[in-house]
Amino acid sequence: CTFGCPANKTAPNGVCVCDRGFSVVGSTRNCTQCLAGTYNAVAGSSTCAQCPSYTSSADISTALLDCKCLQGYTASQDGIACNACLAGTFKNASGTGPCLTCPESPIITSSELGSTKCHCARGWYGTGWSGDSRFVECWPCLGGLYTATIGSAECSVCPSYTTSLAQSDELIDCKCIKGYTAASDGMLCVACAEGTYKRMEGTATCTACPSLSTSEKSSQELTDCECIAGYTNPNVLLSSLTCGGN
Report pLDDT digits (tens) over 149-170: 988 899 999 999 999 999 999 9
- Cβ neighbors of 154 (< 8 A, separation 6 or more) are 125, 147
pLDDT digits (tens, 9 = 90+) for 212-240: 999 999 999 999 999 999 888 777 554 56
Instruction: Name which of 90-104, 160-174, 188-202 the model is least confident about.
Output: 90-104
Can you give the pTM of this predicted structure?
A: 0.66
Band the pLDDT of 137: cuts 50, 70, 90: confident
Mean pLDDT of the chain: 90
Q: Is pLDDT above 90 for 136?
A: no
pLDDT of residue 15: 87
Q: Quick one: residue 127, left, alpha or beta (phi over 0 = left, psi -120 to 50 = alpha)?
A: alpha
From 77-81, 125-129, 145-149, 192-196, the region with the lowest mean pLDDT: 125-129
What is the model's pLDDT at position 24?
Answer: 87
- Can you tell me the mean pLDDT for 48-76? 97
The answer to whether the beta carbons of residues 148 and 171 sit under 8 Å apart is yes
Is pLDDT above 50 for 1?
no
Contacts of 187 by beta carbon, 8 Å cutoff, 6+ apart: 159, 162
- Res 135: pLDDT: 67
Q: What is the predicted pLDDT for the residue at 145?
A: 97
Phi first, then psi, for residue 131 (nearest 5°) are: 90, -5
Shortest CA distance to 173 belongs to which of 198, 147, 195?
147
Of the candidate ranges 65-79, 108-122, 200-214, the one whose mean pLDDT is the lowest: 108-122
Lowest mean pLDDT among 2-6, 44-48, 127-131: 2-6
pLDDT, position 2? 43
Q: Is residue 85 over pLDDT 90? A: yes
Q: How far apart are CA 132 and CA 105, in angstroms?
A: 17
